[in-house]
């Protein structure tokens, strides 16, 4: 059965919180608005869904909602610029960008958190067009098929593809590259039910032990990048000289603690992702004030900007460029019933939800620019299951406790967090203190905090290991099962019957044959968790990207928080 998917209509709208607008298209493709504004003003909301008047957003079509009205997967500053993008290299052009973090190891299995790096120097056989997991297109593979039982996948490799070092990328080299993936990241093989792989002429064939409903998404680079076997055979799996892919850019220079120089891949082949800017200089700047000054002085042309204060600094000092707001990670709040006896009681967990005013926390920490969630996962993401049960009502909370013979003063526990979570934990602490619940906060180093989480020693934690639109199943693979890496679902200690239902849905989710079938079971697990108040919705804090006006068509993926370099031009 042919699996080169027909494109689902991608809703390209302009997400410009600061009043930048251009034409957008609705689900039928008709123009809704036209014209473009370059005024920069602000708006914020204080409800669960902040007022977004004057903004437009990007999104993808689903049967459940018009996603153009809510959280975008990506941002396009100008539709006209997007459509005018050159399809060739602009020789002699360069851009200076800032990154917060060094990446001492650049091979893909050792730098997975650093999306700004690996998403621009590696790619998969397929790719998600504009970040839409329902619009998967050929990249290195020009077409693909699967058997009726979904156990054999055949990818026809495009002619003329080369790694950035000039070596040919064909079916045989991809198979050899997968041998290195199996050695360096064996979990990627097992997690996706991969049994074996082989090259047959111009076809790369993968055999599965069982169907995997998200295998195509994984082939977009989420787990399986095309890596150069020539470099890996020469240098080994942990040597940065082996960090060679087929993507639009490659690492030309690296200085530890200082930065990177990316160069456009001279062998690049795919028109949609053809690089325009020849040289990209990434400067590592960890201090926020220094970052803002570099942007203001023109020493840098763009950066992700952390913190509302830094956003206001740019705006108030008339930064000469686009400053676009998106959103950061979702922060659901999880209760560990194995550590706090009272958390075993449904009324207590629900009362905790009623005692926490996330709108007030949003105002306090983010000046109202965040989004209070109606689900554990990001609004309108693939795994989103909205509920009307996450709301603030302390009177109802006290009534819930009284119904089981408790009062707020009976609940007291310690909560440990890394320094990065201090502000949110202290805000939650203040909300609970107002209600009469005692929560003591202890701040420790990130490494020690991770050990706490892995050992299940935590009592309260914010966040999970994933929420991405193209990997909605991922959180459950890390947090649900008894031997989970960071177990966060504790129904087994107070409601084994419910826990078994969740495990049954997990099994159905991981063995489904299609994406849509997988989502049904993925969402049911979320519904079980939310209705049980094992976790409650939190906030998405604001995230910002700044880029000066000399550079056109900045496309910024909300989930990975990184600019896609191949779209930029001058």
Q: If DSSP states are collapsed to H, E and C, what string results for 84-136? A: CCCCCCEEEEEEEEEECCCCCCCCHHHCCCCHHHHHHHCCCCEEEHHHCCCCE
What pLDDT is recorded for position 559? Answer: 64
Question: What pLDDT shows up at residue 132?
Answer: 81
Is residue 42 scored above 50 in pLDDT? no
Do 198 and 261 reside in the same domain of the chain?
no
CB 158 within 8 A of CB 269: yes
More confident of the two residues 4 and 546: 546
Residue 546 near residue 292 (C-beta atoms within 8 A): no
For residues 233 and 297, state if they share a domain: no
Query: Is 340 found in the same domain as 316?
Result: no
Same domain, 375 and 473: yes
Does residue 399 lie in a domain region?
Answer: yes
Q: Is the residue at 6 inside a domain?
A: no
Upper half-sphere CA count for residue 89 (Cβ side, 13 Å): 15
Same domain, 209 and 294: no
Phi and psi at residue 306, to the nearest 5°: -100, 135
pLDDT for the residue 111: 65
In a domain, 56, yes or no: no
Q: Are strands 438-444 and 302-305 parallel, antiparallel or unpaired?
A: unpaired
Q: Tens digits of per-residue pLDDT, 101-155? A: 899 999 998 765 677 888 899 999 999 887 788 889 999 999 999 999 999 999 9
Say what the pLDDT of residue 267 is: 97
The confidence score (pLDDT) of residue 113 equals 61
C-alpha span between 100 and 113 (Å, rounded): 12
Are 163 and 257 in the same domain?
A: no
pLDDT band at 390 (very low <50, low <70, confident <90, very high): very high
Residue 110 has what pLDDT?
A: 73
Among 134, 112, 137, 11, which residue's Cα sits nearest to residue 71?
11
SS3 177: helix
The percentage of residues in the chain with a pLDDT greater than 70, rounded to a whole number, is: 85
Residue that wins the pLDDT comparison between 28 and 231: 231
**Same structural domain, 297 and 409:** no
Q: Look up tokens 């689902």; give the residue.
A: 8
> In the predicted model, is pLDDT for residue 16 greater than 80?
no
Whether residue 436 is predicted with pLDDT greater than 50 in this model: the reply is yes
The overall average pLDDT reported for the chain is 84
Q: Which residues lie below 8 Å from residue 25, measured CB to CB, with a gap of 6+?
A: 11, 12, 13, 31, 32
Residues 480-496 have a mean pLDDT of 95
Residue 68 lies in a domain: no
**Nearest-5° Cα angle at 268, 267 to 270:** 145
pLDDT 10s digits, 511-561: 899 999 999 999 999 999 999 999 999 998 888 899 999 999 887 776 666
User: Does 54 score more than 70 pLDDT?
Assistant: no
Q: What CATH number does the domain containing 420 carry?
A: 3.10.105.10
Predicted pLDDT of residue 53: 27
What pLDDT, on a 0 to 100 scale, did the predictor assign at position 448?
85
Same domain, 242 and 256: no
Report yes or no on 469 lying in a domain.
Answer: yes
pLDDT at residue 57 in the model: 24
Highest mean pLDDT among 132-141, 402-411, 478-487: 402-411
Residue 31, strand partner residues: 25
Residue 110 lies in a domain: no
Q: Please check whether residues 287 and 411 belong to one and the same domain.
A: no
More confident residue, 550 or 222: 550
∠ CA(148), CA(515), CA(197), 5° rounding?
Answer: 55
Range of the domain at 261: 251-328
Total count of domains within the chain: 3
């Amino acid at each position: 059965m042919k699996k080169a998917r027909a494109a689902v209509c991608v809703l390209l709208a302009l997400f410009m919180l600061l009043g930048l607008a251009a034409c957008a298209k609705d689900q039928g493709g008709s123009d809704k608005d036209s014209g473009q504004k370059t005024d920069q003003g602000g708006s914020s909301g204080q409800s669960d869904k902040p007022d977004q008047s004057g903004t437009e957003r990007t999104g993808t079509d689903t049967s459940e909602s018009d996603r153009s009205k809510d959280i975008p997967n990506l941002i396009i500053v100008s539709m006209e610029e997007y459509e005018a993008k050159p399809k060739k290299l602009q020789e002699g052009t360069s851009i200076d960008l800032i990154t917060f973090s060094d990446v001492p190891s650049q091979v893909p299995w050792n730098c997975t958190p650093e999306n700004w790096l690996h998403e621009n120097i590696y790619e998969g056989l397929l790719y998600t067009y504009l970040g839409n997991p329902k619009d998967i297109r050929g990249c290195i593979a020009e077409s693909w098929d699967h058997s009726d039982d979904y156990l054999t996948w055949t990818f026809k490799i495009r002619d003329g593809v080369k790694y950035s070092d000039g070596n040919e990328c064909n079916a045989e080299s991809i198979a050899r590259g997968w041998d290195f993936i199996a050695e360096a990241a064996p979990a990627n093989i097992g997690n996706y039910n991969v049994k074996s792989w082989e090259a047959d002429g111009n076809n790369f064939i993968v055999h599965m032990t069982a169907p995997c409903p998200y295998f195509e998404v994984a082939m977009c680079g989420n787990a399986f990048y095309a890596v150069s076997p020539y470099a890996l055979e020469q240098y080994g799996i942990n040597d940065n000289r082996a960090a060679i892919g087929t993507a639009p850019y490659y690492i030309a220079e690296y200085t530890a603690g200082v930065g990177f120089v990316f160069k456009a891949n001279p062998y690049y082949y795919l028109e949609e992702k053809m690089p325009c800017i020849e040289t990209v200089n990434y400067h590592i700047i960890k201090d926020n004030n220094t970052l803002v000054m570099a942007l203001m002085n023109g020493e840098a042309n763009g950066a992700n900007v952390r913190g509302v204060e830094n956003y206001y600094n740019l705006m108030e000092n008339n930064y000469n460029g686009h400053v676009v707001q998106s959103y950061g990670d979702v922060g659901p709040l999880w209760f560990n019933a194995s550590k706090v006896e009272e958390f075993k009681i449904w009324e207590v967990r629900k009362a905790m939800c009623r005692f926490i005013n996330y709108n007030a926390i949003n105002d306090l920490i983010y000046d109202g620019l965040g989004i209070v969630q109606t689900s554990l996962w990001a609004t309108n993401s693939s795994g989103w299951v909205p509920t009307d049960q996450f709301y603030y009502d302390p009177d109802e909370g006290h009534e819930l406790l009284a119904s089981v013979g408790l009062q707020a003063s009976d609940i007291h526990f310690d909560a440990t967090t890394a320094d990065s979570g201090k502000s949110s934990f202290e805000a939650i602490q203040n909300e609970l203190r107002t209600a009469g619940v005692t929560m003591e906060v202890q701040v420790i180093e990130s490494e020690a905090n991770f050990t706490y989480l892995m050992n299940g020693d935590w009592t309260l934690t914010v966040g999970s290991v994933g929420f991405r639109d193209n990997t909605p199943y991922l959180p459950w693979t890390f947090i649900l099962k008894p031997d989970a890496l960071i177990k966060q679902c504790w129904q087994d200690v107070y409601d084994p019957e419910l826990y078994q239902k969740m495990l049954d849905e997990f099994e159905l989710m991981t063995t489904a044959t299609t994406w849509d079938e997988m989502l049904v079971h993925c969402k049911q697990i979320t519904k079980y968790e939310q209705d049980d108040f094992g976790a409650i919705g939190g906030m998405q804090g604001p995230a910002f990207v700044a880029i000066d006006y000399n550079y056109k068509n900045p496309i910024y993926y909300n989930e990975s928080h990184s600019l896609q370099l191949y779209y930029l031009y001058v």
